[in-house]
Amino acid sequence: MNWNPIYVLVKKIPRGRVMTYGQLAKALRLPGGARTAGRAMAASPSDQGVPWHRVVGAGGRLLIREPYASLQRKLLESEGLALAEKRILDFRNYEWNPSEGRRRGVVKKEKRG
DNA sequence: CATCTGACGACCG
DNA sequence: GCGGTCGCCAGAT
């Protein structure tokens, strides 16, 4: 199969969490950087369970264009993420790092006022 | 071969 | 915080 390491890593992103193209590139030391990750994602197979919607631009920006943009928004919202027009709100709380592995790493608790 | 176009990211104003 | 620009690299025309 096309076990592109990018897809392997993307598959590990937990539900309700996201990673950026740049993070993927950095984690896998992809030559060409984030664009390479983006190119791979654009060609991600739809029948291999790759949660492509969990990959977003730096800062939690939503970069995908229609018609997939709508689908991505829908999927992310269904996983509990709050979205603004062009980005994920409180992106920092959802960003996932492969090192977290099975660590809790869940949402950082907000300071109570 | 020249040029344009991206599922990008860092910078700058 | 937002839009514009530049650097990067592979594919398409």
Nearest nucleotide, CA A65 to C1': B7
Angle value at C-alpha A76, between A74 and A82, nearest 5 degrees:
100
Number of domains in chain A: 1
Q: Is A107 part of any domain?
A: no
Q: Is A108 part of any domain?
A: no
Query: What is the model's pLDDT at position A112?
Result: 33
Question: What does the mean pLDDT of chain A come to?
Answer: 87
Residue A41 phi, psi (nearest 5):
-65, -35
Nearest to A92 by CA among A23, A17, A25: A17
**Residue A90 maps to which CATH number?**
1.10.10.10
Query: Is residue A23 scored above 70 in pLDDT?
Result: yes
Residues by CB within 7 A of strand C: list them.
A 31-36, 39, 86-87
Query: Tens digit of pLDDT for each residue in A50-102?
Result: 999 999 999 999 999 988 999 999 999 999 999 999 999 999 999 999 887 66
Range of the domain at A68: 5-94
CA of A35 to C1' of C10 (A): 10
Helix (H) or strand (E) holding A58: none
Q: Is A16 part of any domain?
A: yes
pTM above 0.85, yes or no: yes
- CA separation for the pair A101, A104 (Å, rounded): 8
Q: Is A103 part of any domain?
A: no
Whether A9 contacts A25, CB under 8 Å: no
Query: What is the model's pLDDT at position A104?
Result: 53
